[in-house]
């Protein structure tokens, strides 16, 4: 059975959201020296030297990049599963979209790429809950015979 059009569009929006995340944090990774220098210039703590700041920036940016890749893979994987009609995939995508939105609001409120990725994920999630596609994600009832 072919997935409804909103479910197919949602899948591609999730893929796009993941690609935006990877591109944004990949670009930030290339700006490692600029970020480190800005933090060194802002540093007022005597017990933090330049090397510690540079090391911390490097670790943080690589962690954010790996996190973006993980989110992109999860968006694609569960987006594909949702295309196949898996109700649990829809639930997981809802949680991932909520986490992306929270990260955007709490940690990156001025980041345009994070805002774009969050927007794409939220729109994709909304498409999965449209009344026209509810029948595509059937409820799982108890097994036949009423036994568990």
Residue-by-residue pLDDT tens, the chain, 148 positions: 789 999 999 999 999 999 999 999 999 999 999 988 888 888 888 888 888 989 999 999 999 999 999 999 999 999 999 999 999 999 999 999 999 999 999 988 888 999 999 999 999 999 999 999 988 998 876 655 555 5
- Which residue is it, tokens 């639930």? 91
121-to-10, 88, 108 alpha-carbon distances in Å: 8, 17, 16
**CA–CA separation, 125 and 89 (whole Å):** 11
Contacts of 125 (CB under 8 A, 6+ apart): 10, 93, 94, 97
């Amino acid at each position: 059975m072919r997935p409804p059009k909103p479910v197919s569009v949602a899948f591609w929006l999730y893929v796009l959201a993941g690609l935006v995340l990877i591109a944004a944090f990949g670009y930030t990774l290339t700006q490692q020296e600029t970020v480190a220098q800005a933090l060194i210039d802002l540093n007022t703590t005597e017990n933090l030297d330049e090397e510690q700041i540079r090391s911390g920036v490097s670790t943080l940016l690589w962690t954010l990049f790996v996190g973006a890749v993980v989110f992109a893979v999860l968006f694609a994987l569960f987006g594909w599963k949702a295309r196949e009609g898996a109700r649990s995939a829809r639930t997981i995508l809802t949680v991932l979209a909520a986490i992306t939105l929270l990260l955007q609001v709490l940690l990156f409120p001025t980041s345009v790429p994070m805002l774009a990725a969050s927007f794409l994920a939220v729109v994709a999630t909304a498409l999965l809950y449209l009344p026209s596609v509810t029948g595509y994600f059937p409820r799982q009832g108890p097994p036949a015979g009423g036994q568990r």
